[in-house]
Amino acid sequence: MGHHHLVDDAAMIMLRDLVTGYQGQGIGVPLDGRFDSGSMTAIVGANGSGKSTLLKTLAGLLPPVQGSLSFGPAGRPRIGYLPQQVEMDRQFPLTVFDVVAMGCWPASGLLRRINRAGQAAIWQALTRVGLETLAQCAISTLSGGQFQRMLFARLLVQEAPLILLDEPFSGIDKPTCGLLMTVIEQLHRQGRTIIVVLHDNQLVAQHFPQTLWLSSSQPAWGPSSRVLATWPDFAAPMPPLCLLSV
Ligand SMILES: Nc1ncnc2c1ncn2[C@@H]1O[C@H](COP(=O)(O)OP(=O)(O)OP(=O)(O)O)[C@@H](O)[C@H]1O
């Protein structure tokens, strides 16, 4: 009993027989396993293997088609979720500061003024990602890399215990990719649980202790070194996406 209790306390998310999908139509085989509290996991797999769909299900945006996911004793935490860039509206009339300030909403409420500590957190996050001079710019004027840095600044302000990122580096130049990776590692050191959909196997091997490989036949989930080694194609060096997109 006591042992089981300890095990459950360490789990942030438990998946039991989970099948994700749309309109009752499942993708892939059922998933069983857990994301531990404070763990950092890469989700990899072929196009269409259901990586984004799993992330949306973890975020609570889609119901499971089969099975369940459950959260640890504290229940569903606040979640910082970044969808793929293509799914975001960049024409909305907001400034960079406004978007980063949205990270304060859980604390400040929509209509209340952001207090001094909130203001300081926003400026600190903008500086962390090198956007402090663009704070008053309209978001429609940002490059793809600047836009992504802004969203990472919002994640820093948000202080969510669970962070879900869907291909955060696709189409992003190499220096920005490096900067954003250091922000992810900072969030991990702060004890947050990090789950990132990625295509770049070198980034996974270098930075992610855990890997979940989605496949239509047999998913693999565990320490990255073990999961990557069981997939010969994946272990072979490939140019990282970050390098290709410079
Ligand atoms: N809104 C939707 N409605 C119905 N089916 C969808 C929807 N979005 C995705 N799908 C389907 O679900 C399957 C998995 O898609 P998903 O985007 O999760 O895969 P992925 O592993 O993230 O792929 P990629 O690497 O190309 O981003 C695909 O067959 C896709 O066509």
Q: ipTM of the predicted structure?
A: 0.96
Between residues 66 and 6, the one the model is more confident about: 66
CA angle, corner 105, sides to 51 and 177, nearest 5? 45
**For the ranges 15-19, 26-30, 85-89, 232-236, which has the lowest average pLDDT?**
232-236
Give the mutation target among 49, 86, 196 for probing the ligand 1 site: most ligand atoms within 8 A of CB. Answer: 49
Inside any domain, residue 71: yes
Residue 243 lies in a domain: no
pLDDT at residue 111, as a whole number: 55
What pLDDT, on the 0 to 100 scale, is given for residue 110? 55
Residue 213 burial by CB count (10 A; 0-12/13-18/19+): exposed, middle or buried? Answer: buried
Residues 21 and 69 in one domain: yes
Q: Give yes or no for residue 219 having a pLDDT over 50.
A: yes
Instruction: Supply the residue whose CA is at minimum distance from atom 29 of ligand 1.
Output: 48
Ligand 1 lined by 48 (C-beta under 6 Å): yes
Q: Does any domain span residue 110?
A: yes
Query: CA 206, 207, 211, 216 torsion: positive or negative?
Result: negative
From atom 18 of ligand 1, which residue's Cα is the shortest distance away?
A: 50
What is the Cα Rg of the chain in Å?
18
Do 62 and 102 share a structural domain?
Answer: no
Q: In what order do the strands lie in the sheet with 40-45?
A: 79-82, 162-166, 193-197, 40-45, 210-214, 220-223
47 lines ligand 1 (CB under 6 A): yes
Residue with the smallest CA separation from ligand 1 atom 24 is 47
Question: What does pLDDT average to over the chain?
Answer: 86
Please indicate, yes or no, whether residues 51 and 90 belong to a single structural domain of this protein.
no
Query: Which residues are CB-contacts of 227 (< 8 A; sequence separation ≥ 6)?
Result: 211, 212, 213, 220, 221
Q: 51: domain range?
A: 10-77+162-169+193-231
Residues 106 and 121 in one domain: yes
More confident residue, 231 or 107: 231
Number of domains in the chain: 2
Write out pLDDT tens, residues 154-193: 999 998 999 999 999 988 999 999 999 999 999 999 999 9
Task: Give the nearest ligand 1 atom to 197 CA.
Answer: 22
Instruction: Report which protein residue has its CA nearest ligand 1's atom 2.
Output: 22
Residue at which a domain ends, from 160, 178, 213: 160
Query: Is residue 236 predicted with pLDDT exceeding 50?
Result: no
Residues 151 and 223 both lie in one domain: no
Tell me, yes or no, whether 24 lies in a domain. yes
Residue 87 has a pLDDT of 64
Terminal-to-terminal C-alpha distance of the chain: 54
What does the pLDDT read at residue 75?
85
The yes-or-no verdict on residue 6 having pLDDT over 50 is no
